[in-house]
Amino acid sequence: MSKSEELNRLKTKCIECRACELGKTRKNIVFSDGSADAKILLIGEAPGADEDASGIPFVGRAGKLLTKLIEDCGFSRKDDFYICNTVKCRPPENRVPTDEEKKLCENFLLEQIKTVNPKVIVLCGATSAKSFLGSKIKISQIRGKWYKLFNNIDTTVIFHPSYLLRNHSEEHGSPRWLTKQDLLKIKEFI
């Protein structure tokens, strides 16, 4: 079975999931975007309203900024990245997903990682980073650092694009500049 077929099988299971309350309030599951053969897997927090409506992660204002940053660094979102979230359904009012919700959705995420088998994982934002690196971390202190997670896959952390929407400067040392540097560094690992 190809990676795409395996992911489609997993998506079908995800559509049927009602393990938590999020499954009762969603419009769509937001399973993934990008290539099953990507070398880079990006994990975000949770779907927002735009993502819930479309079924695709990172399509709102933050998603458009993420795509621009990816392309500015010489990558293709469609071909070089496989993008998913810690949970597949939108939390009400775009709140942060609870630990219980993330735990109930974890098997889908771990299967996505296993199936795609990327060279690099990018944890996008504090919620994603805290899910795997511990709840007491500060993203400003760990972004740009590299870890070995998920069977020794090179993993890094970047600022969430919704944070970058509030920080427009691209000057040296600014959050947007740092994020571009972090994304460019990925080229050394793939």
Instruction: Quick: pLDDT tens for 81-135.
Output: 999 999 999 999 989 999 999 999 999 999 999 999 999 999 999 999 999 998 7
Q: How many domains does the chain have?
A: 1
Identify residue 109 by its one-letter amino acid code. L
Q: pLDDT by residue (tens digit) across 81-95? A: 999 999 999 999 989
Domain of 168, in residue numbers: 3-188
- CATH classification of the domain holding 123: 3.40.470.10
Q: Rounded to whole angstroms, what are the CA distances from 159 to 9, 60, 84, 93, 184?
A: 31, 16, 16, 21, 14
Residue with tokens 């040296």: 172
- Give the global pTM: 0.95
